[in-house]
Structure 1
Amino acid sequence: MADVFRGLNLLETLKESVERNKLSEVKDAVEDLLISRINLAVVGEPGEEKAALVQSLCGLGPQDGGAPSQNGVTMYSTPQHPDFHLWDLPPVPSAAPFEAESYMDRVKFHRHNVVLMASAQAPAANGVAVFLEALSLQQKTVYFVLLHAGNRAGEERPDQRRRAGLATLAAHGVTEPRVYVVDPSRLDRLDFPSLLQDIQRDLPEVRAHALLLALPAFSSTVVAQKKEAFQALVWAAASLSGGLSAVPVPFVASLADSEIAVRILSRAQASLCVDDASVERLARRQGAEPAKIAGLRTCSLSAEVTKAEVKRRLAAAQSDSSISSRLVGMALPRHARSAGRSFNAMLNALNGAIEEMAADADRIVTAVLAFQK
């Protein structure tokens, strides 16, 4: 767990803030992890494969439309992730002469945190010009994606397409080119996992966290990453609880603890795609019975996060002091360690809930992937 916080640069910040009695800074850190807007754009020719990629990235089905905007731009979002917007951008024009800056201004290229330049063919010259212009403006999170459904007769193998794409970029003057071959309907296959890893490395940490939590739970690996991210958030909230509740009321979950716990678990429910709406959309995409997918859930919080259940878990955890004092010391400065009981309760209750919900998500993902084979 400490490794997660070293990656997020959060644990030491929390300890220093509590040490200086700057609880507002701790609250801000938790808010940054709970709420962070992310704009992901997909550039390319309209068609079945691009539409499938957009739907996969949002966890939507073919019948789920977006909101048309200006200049051929469409925005997709879901109620479960109101801070995540996916923008379907028109293709880069192929005509000459071409001004990359003009195209980028027209589609508001710069407002997007991540841009995927997706095509079924090798990158075109004008698309490379947009990429190079973005790099010159320090917008580094732009990536070339070759869509490979694998069902077209005579289509090259993924490794052949990757090599051809890299050669094209190198020929147009791109140094250290990167190309990702992606199955638009199966994000668990081909290069998308490595693309996601590179995006997370290139983004600021809070944005990388936001993107991970907003994407669908499309593989067991992603479920595990989401679980780890939420456990990091739980540690932060528990540290906040410890700093606030120096003399916790025995066996009674505080109002502040229960409110932040409900927010965290509600976010986890949506991110892990175990809520009713996500399960129904997933079942619809796969042609499966929603009740059959929903029946894989064993945690009550996967179906519904209620304040009563969260308070019950917090109260039960406050009566259990099984977590070691060493772990309390890792999270809290010395003068706040009298608050260890409140820290223990939040950490135990929420980590237990996250484990159960992630187990439900993993069962659902495993069943869906088996259904797709």
Structure 2
Amino acid sequence: MSKRWISLLIPVVSIILGLLIGAIVMLATGFNPVDGYIALVNGMVGDSYNLGETIRTITPYVFAGLAVAFAFRTGLFNIGVEGQLIMGWLAAAYVGYAFDLPPVLHVIVAILAAAIAGGLWAFIPGLLKAKLQVHEVIVTIMMNYIALHVVNATIDTLSDGKEKTETIHTSASLGSEFLQSLTDYSRLHWGFAVALLAVLVMWFILEKTTRGYELKAVGFNQNAAEYSGMNVSKNIILAMVISGMFAGIGGAMEALGTFGNIMKMTAFSGIGFDGIAVALLGANQPLGVLFGAILFGALKNGGLNMPNEAGVPVEIVSIVIALIIFFVASGYLIQLILNKLVKKDTKTPKVDKKNVKGEK
């Protein structure tokens, strides 16, 4: 079995192990795992409404995962996706209600505003990394907290002390009566199509452009990239900005699709931090991120049905997700086990020397 197949099997094995241990946890705490997982599946795709809500939940996870994965592919670890996402959320919400534009144009301008906001917020740690060698992990973590308080203060100013901004105009909404009618009036919106487009964009940038090659080269070895004539500082800043733009657009999906505004936050949304796990599960590949986001979004939305249908606490889903992340992070150990199993199956049988001599 090739290394590629083994690397693909690692997340699959991790998911299976996470579900199995989750079942053991349910049994140990007095709950029926069969009923629990049936309720989970019903919450994911049990009817058209749940299916619509699941797809809606998946959408921002795609962008958060792409933001983390893009930075990682270029040698950076962007922990600030959460802050970049809520900055994009604020920008999209503001453009959505403060301007009067034609329908399609309004949506595009609001999404671009979110991308710019997220990109600018990521520009700061990128600049510090490129020019002063300040580690991006520390700066991006701090930028998350700054973003949270900046967003809350801005909402307070824009809304005259209210807890949320005005609702966006219909022309800026990603919502669709057609999609809602198909899914029993869930909050499904066209953001899922934008997310699929973003997956293609990341793949195209990294795999089909010269700039993408440079970004990856800088991520692999900065000294070698610089020796070959590449501008390392420029590429580090650009990588962080593009990563932040993906995150900002993820925030726009919440502003223009799910909520139609932005509320003051007492805590982080968690989407940006979950994006780290989504990227890890997807091996930092665009298509892998999409599948990782599908898993996370489905588990998050399906888990809401477990207390109602099976009496299983929703925290069990968090345990299952944490276990899956743990096993993915332990991928090296799983890889060793898979390699040993494959070697056992492919060992050549011992030749009986006596029979060989007899035949001669």
Shorter-chain TM range is: under 0.3
| Superposition TM-score, scaled by structure 1 size | 0.24
Higher relative contact order (CA 8 A, sep 6+): 2
| Superposition TM-score, scaled by structure 2 size | 0.25
Greater strand fraction, Structure 1 or Structure 2: 1
Greater helix fraction, Structure 1 or Structure 2: 2
